[in-house]
Amino acid sequence: MIPRKITIFGQNFTTMSEVKTLNEFIIERQKDFPFSLGDLSILLTHMGVAAKVIHREVNKAGLAENILGDAGNVNVQGEDQKKLDVYADERFIELIRGSEMVAGIASEENDDYVAFDGAAQKGKYVLMMDPLDGSSNIDVNVSIGTIFSIYRRVSDVNGPVTMEDFLQKGDDQVAGGYIIYGSSTMLVYTTGRGVNGFTLDPSIGEFCLSHAEIVTPKTGRIYSVNEGNRKKMEQGVVDYIDYCQEEEYSARYIGSLVADFHRNLLKGGIYIYPATSSAPNGKLRLLYECNPLAFLIEQAGGRATDGHQRIMEILPTELHQRVPYFVGSPEMMDKAESFVQTKNSVEA
């Protein structure tokens, strides 16, 4: 291999051997799973390939014809689908089916799960995903992302997947993560052995390890909540927002869950999307938004709850189930929950 200088995230490397790519990292970590025959490694590698494909389309969206704007459809969530939403959903399904490691996919963009046939039907895993989180920001060039969650299927591999394969607790995840398409494209994931982040280096077309063993700060000074819903929130959440303002915390709310979560993960902070009078069950989806990010934050030393119960302990009853969501640095989580739970206790 010919030595050459490259720079990744401000760090200079003189040879390619000093750079650890996503594929190299996945292979290296395969020993953490002695029960696995490499299937999960293959699947994670395909996720990396899918991320590159979506990155390419996101980065040329302003130039490409027929990719920006509404698709003219409404998804199962009652939300207007963007053209890039549909594209991302179709590409992920196509590329993950090709891995033959996944027997079915559940996506925010589809009413029901998609069961694969052929060789893929015998796949050992199921995948749940929000193919393009924050898609309302596409047209204005704000960071968006992909969130994914992988489970080992519980149904017989000799038959098609069933709903039971998807309605599993977050504690049963074997991998979870997200891809953020921003000033740089990053893939961050966990398999229950810590959290690692990889930045896409366009010069070599590879995700390279840039954030090893991420640990979120125990506390922070950022709170992320849509204060436009303040009048619809329970009093305990309002009291916590008032507390944050009294402490002169910084309010940061992008409107892309992945972007808000990513910033708070690295810098310390809390993200809240509580129950409101117009959305008493919350807005965020348990299976393909809340669970994977809860898995990540816990592996990074943080916490995720619905204000009372640990997110990953919730047994889902439906594919698109929504829950209130509190996620972030542990000390900030403790404080927020103390306001919510104390207020509820007084009212009871």
Nearest-angstrom CA–CA distance, 156 and 294: 28
In percent, the amount of the chain with pLDDT more than 90 equals 76
For residue range 231-289, list pLDDT tens digits in order. 999 999 999 999 999 999 999 999 999 999 999 999 999 999 999 999 999 999 999 99
Read off the pLDDT of each residue in 151-179 and give the average, rounded to a whole number. 97
Read off the pLDDT of each residue in 188-209 and give the average, rounded to a whole number. 96
Calculate the average pLDDT of the chain: 89
Residue 80 has pLDDT above 90, yes or no: no
Read off the pLDDT of each residue in 187-194 and give the average, rounded to a whole number. 96
Domains for the chain: give ranges and CATH numbers.
16-211 (3.30.540.10), 222-347 (3.40.190.80)
Crossing angle of helices 235-246 and 330-347, in 10° steps, is 140
CB 326 within 8 A of CB 306: yes
Q: CA 122 → CA 89, 90, 128, 152, 156, distances in Å? A: 22, 21, 17, 12, 9
For residue range 6-56, list pLDDT tens digits in order. 554 455 544 445 789 999 999 888 877 665 668 889 999 999 999 999 998
Burial grade of 140 (CB within 10 A; 0-12, 13-18, 19 or more): exposed
CB 224 within 8 A of CB 253: yes
Nearest-angstrom CA–CA distance, 178 and 200: 13
pTM for the model: 0.89
In percent, the amount of the chain with pLDDT more than 70 equals 86
